[in-house]
Amino acid sequence: MDVKELTAATTFYDGPPLPPTIGPALDQMHKNYVEALLKGGNEIEIPELGLRADANKLVGFYKFMFDRHDVWHRRFIRNMSRPWTIDPILKVWKFTNVWRELDRGTVYLLDALRDPSREGYRNCVGDLWSIMHYRLFNNWEAHKALGGFVPYDQWNYDDWYKRLRAHHAAGNTVLCMSHNTCCYTGLPGSDKIERVCLIAKRVHDTAQDTLDGINNARSLEQVFDVIRAVRGYGPFLAYEVVSDILYTGITPFSVNDWANAGPGAMNGIARIFHPISEKQRGKKMPFLDIMQWLRTNQKTGFDAVKFLFGCDFESIAWQRRPLDLRCIEHQLCEYSKIVKLYQGNGRNFSGHVKPIDRGPDDFERMKALF
């Protein structure tokens, strides 16, 4: 597949890229784009996958990633004020950043993992404990308010539980919405908070065994299986932990070796790709192969976005990086969400964008990342 083939199969509009414009004309241009995206374009065959792809929806996937990252770039690099986008959905709904490392919860974790003051007790089991414990709660503000990252050899279950209960009783949120995907069925505890704390205690007690399993793994997928086997960790949390482990050097594998396609990513793939023949219908989609294809063909996708819309992803890319496989996986999920919202029948569990800006420290941190 090349840019010419891909752009020729789209039906967004005919002619050269539209010139920059403002006001009602810009809103109408975006409305036309959404209508064409939902209607779909011509299909192109992708023989190496044995599938067809809707050209409009394939280009739309890359266009969504440009639009989402452009919000981050305008906000943190260009220091622009709202609105950072003309997209009515992106204006009011939260979506994860294109690069996971830019999401505030991951920034919080990475700040801790890279804190020089931790070197005195920094070790593999300590890092694994910090990651697994934090991701159980996955709420950086609550985690910080409760004392932040406690060294592996200093953590006390009773102390943490009491502080967590008091924080919750004071009307504060302690868990994030991702915990809808956790595996609590059959676990002891009077409510979700107690169950999470008991899971944390088990994680702490068995951290060395879990680390041994990771060290014996022969692939990134096997690392995922080790984490997945820890009671209370569903596929969502296990993949979050695996992604965090890759920042530490605990395991030698690469982020591009493997990815776990969650339900959202599968939905995103189903919006773009279809079997070539009736014989293939009903067969399991090659999700990993598709995500790898989207990663390796990203230049073609973004070149098509640049040709059709004048949007240059390379000029705003974080650290001029190409997208890795983790970016592709979770952006497929976010793409599925925004398409549902365009259709008027979706919900975004991440919630609304808060009508406040982060403080100057966040701006300086994000600029440094860029």
How far is residue 145 from each of residues 132, 159, 170, 243, measured CA to CA in Å?
18, 14, 12, 24
pLDDT at 274: 94
Do 315 and 303 contact (CB within 8 A), yes or no? no
Question: Inter-axis angle of helices 157-169 and 192-205, to 10 degrees?
Answer: 160
pLDDT at 134: 95
pLDDT at 179: 46
Q: pTM of the predicted model, to two decimals?
A: 0.90
Do 49 and 293 contact (CB within 8 A), yes or no? yes
pLDDT at 120: 44
What element of type H or E holds 46? Answer: strand 43-46
Question: Inter-axis angle of helices 24-39 and 55-72, to 10 degrees?
Answer: 140
Block means of pLDDT (10 residues each) for the chain, length 370 residues? 94 66 71 94 95 98 98 94 92 94 94 72 80 91 89 92 91 69 59 86 95 96 97 92 94 97 96 82 86 98 95 96 97 97 75 52 61
pLDDT at 173: 83
- Which of 210, 204, 228 lies closest to 150, judged by CA? 204
Q: How many alpha carbons fall within 13 Å on the CB side of residue 153? A: 7
Do 199 and 232 contact (CB within 8 A), yes or no? yes
Assign 75 to helix, strand or coil. Answer: helix
Angstrom distance (rounded) from CA 102 to CA 142: 19
pLDDT at 347: 63
pLDDT at 348: 57
pLDDT at 195: 85
Q: What's the CA angle centered on 356, arms 353 and 358, to 5 degrees?
A: 100
pLDDT at 309: 92
pLDDT at 350: 55
